[in-house]
Chains A and B, each alone.
Chain A
Amino acid sequence: MVKKIYFQSIFFSFFFIKEAFAAESGGMPQLNPEFWVSQIFWLILTFGIMYLVLSKLILPKISNNLESRKSQILENIEAAEKQREDSDAKLKEYDEIISKSKLEANSIFNQAREKALKDIGAKREVLDKQIDNEIAEAEKEIDVLRKNAPDKINKIAIETSSELLQKLIGAEVNNSSISAIVDDLSKRNGDKYYGN
């Protein structure tokens, strides 16, 4: 209560001490009520106008600016996030495509190799068969030639020896007796000549 009365007495005394302070030039100019009304009037006028202009025109604009910046930044962050996700997905896709194509290339390569191996095998078999056939034929021919060779040699031997005898003794010799001798000789020496 004391505090209240003290302040009240100080405060309300302000209104009644105009003369006391106006007379004293060294006092506080704040307590001189000469311009109080003027100060109150100008304070209400200037502060009121400032308040109206700030609250109706300027502050909504600033708040709008702040809001729009905030929303735009949020939007940008969202867009960036989305793009990052997109690029991540694309990267994954790309990786998949690469691994897939790698596998494909591998399988194609393997197939081609198998096919080539098969072709080579088949061709070799055919060639082998051909070669075998040719060898067999050649062997047959050789056999035939070998079988026919002694007869021909005998014939040549008979003719040669009959001509030889004719020239040597000047007489006709019976071919059959010569051939008998040649047969006999070739039978005896056949092994030596042909290795049979």
Chain B
Amino acid sequence: MAANPMSQFDVYRIGPEIKVGAFDISFTNASLFMILSTVSILLIFNLGSKKNSILPNKIQLLAELSYTFVSKMISDTAGSKAKPYFAFIFSLFMFVLFCNMFGMIPYTFTVTSHIIVTFVLAAFIFIGVTVIGFIKHGFGYLKLFVPSGVPAVLLPLIVVIEIISYLSRPISLSVRLFANMMAGHTMMKVFGGFVISLGIVGGWLPLSFSVALTGLEILVAFLQAYVFAILTCIYLNDALNLHH
């Protein structure tokens, strides 16, 4: 079981099978780590917001730094109009970050390494952003597909390309996160397997690689959460401030 680098992504039932109609909504290891991530987020930020001291303690500082980090990210990319969506983007960033980081602990499960999870998040963002765009600008939102300053001859081609790029947003958004997580974890598992198979003599090289990869993966875990959140901000910016 351990030899297969893909087996770490296996989803299995914990406890009894729960069925609602034709759907299986059993509690799985994925559900466990979703709950773990959300509970730790809520715990940390609840602790960080409980006391209001002028000199913040460590956990309050952590909560406030995260708050200002995300709020700066939103105001930089999407402007002041995006303020009502701050809570959603904050939750999104924290959820993806914590799921990624929990996946870095050995023997854990990485929620975001599953395409269905990232795709649901991305699809929700895509639909939400589209709805916001149409509410804010009506059918004027379709001007997003017609960039200004393009020669009339090229316009049909450009419009088609713009529409494709818009429609592929949820796919690129979800696949980026899922593929990064899956590839990183698979690679770490493969190098870990090399350490065992090469033994005490030759195992040191893949072990050092594993150590380096762990650092890299922690960076990627943060970076992908950041990219996911910032792309959401950019999409939101398109919907709120129509530039084209």
Seen from chain A, the residues whose Cβ lies within 8 Å of a Cβ on chain B are: 1, 3-4, 7, 11, 14, 26-44, 46-47, 49-51, 53-55, 57-59, 61-66, 68-69, 72-73
Contact: A68 with B52, CB < 8 Å?
Answer: yes
Which listed residue (A29, A37, A46) contacts B34, Cβ 8 A?
A: A46
Q: Does B115 contact A (CB under 8 A)?
A: yes
Contact: B6 with A55, CB < 8 Å?
Answer: no
Contact: B64 with A4, CB < 8 Å?
Answer: no
Q: Does B191 contact A (CB under 8 A)?
A: no
| Inter-chain contacts of A49 with B (CB < 8 A) | 38
| Inter-chain contacts of B117 with A (CB < 8 A) | 39-40, 43
| Inter-chain contacts of B86 with A (CB < 8 A) | 59
Instruction: Report the bound CA distance from A73 to B13 in whole Å.
Output: 53
A54: nearest chain-B partner, CB-CB: B91
Indicate whether A38 sits within 8 Å of B6 (C-beta atoms), given known contacts A47-B38, A59-B86, A72-B54.
Answer: no
Interface size classification for chain B: 35 or more
Q: Determine chain B's interface SS by DSSP, over half rule.
A: helix
Beyond A43-B121, A50-B91, 11 additional contacts (C-beta under 8 Å) are A29-B7, A33-B116, A39-B120, A42-B25, A42-B27, A42-B28, A46-B37, A47-B34, A59-B87, A62-B49, A62-B64
Q: Mark B1-33, 1 if CB is under 8 A from A, else 0.
A: 000101101110100000000011111101100
| Minimum C-beta distance from B241 to chain A (A) | 23
Seen from chain B, the residues whose Cβ lies within 8 Å of a Cβ on chain A are: 4, 6-7, 9-11, 13, 23-28, 30-31, 34-35, 37-38, 41-42, 45-46, 48-50, 52, 54, 60, 63-64, 67-68, 86-88, 90-91, 94-95, 111, 113-117, 120-121, 160, 164, 167-168, 171, 178, 182
Instruction: Report the bound CA distance from A42 to B182 in whole Å.
Output: 20
| Minimum C-beta distance from A7 to chain B (A) | 5
| Inter-chain contacts of B28 with A (CB < 8 A) | 35, 38-39, 42
| Minimum C-beta distance from B47 to chain A (A) | 10
B35: nearest chain-A partner, CB-CB: A46
| Minimum C-beta distance from B99 to chain A (A) | 10
Which listed residue (A27, A29, A55, A61) contacts B11, Cβ 8 A?
A: A29
Contact: B23 with A4, CB < 8 Å?
Answer: no
Which listed residue (A37, A40, A53, A66) contacts B64, Cβ 8 A?
A: A66
Contact: A28 with B6, CB < 8 Å?
Answer: yes
Instruction: Report the bound CA distance from A36 to B30 in whole Å.
Output: 10
Contact: A3 with B168, CB < 8 Å?
Answer: yes
| Minimum C-beta distance from B84 to chain A (A) | 10
Q: Determine which residue in A37, A58, A64 has the highest number of CB atoms from chain B within 10 A of its CB, and name it.
A: A58
| Inter-chain contacts of B4 with A (CB < 8 A) | 26
| Inter-chain contacts of A14 with B (CB < 8 A) | 115
| Minimum C-beta distance from B73 to chain A (A) | 15
| Inter-chain contacts of A39 with B (CB < 8 A) | 11, 28, 30-31, 114, 116-117, 120
A-B contact pairs, 7 of them (CB 8 A): A4-B167, A35-B30, A37-B25, A42-B31, A46-B31, A59-B67, A66-B68
Contact: B178 with A58, CB < 8 Å?
Answer: no
Contact: A41 with B25, CB < 8 Å?
Answer: yes
Instruction: Report the bound CA distance from A62 to B10 in whole Å.
Output: 38
A27: nearest chain-B partner, CB-CB: B6
Instruction: Report the bound CA distance from A66 to B66 in whole Å.
Output: 12
Contact: A1 with B164, CB < 8 Å?
Answer: yes
Contact: A42 with B30, CB < 8 Å?
Answer: yes
Contact: B54 with A30, CB < 8 Å?
Answer: no
| Inter-chain contacts of B91 with A (CB < 8 A) | 47, 50-51, 54-55
Instruction: Report the bound CA distance from A77 to B121 in whole Å.
Output: 45
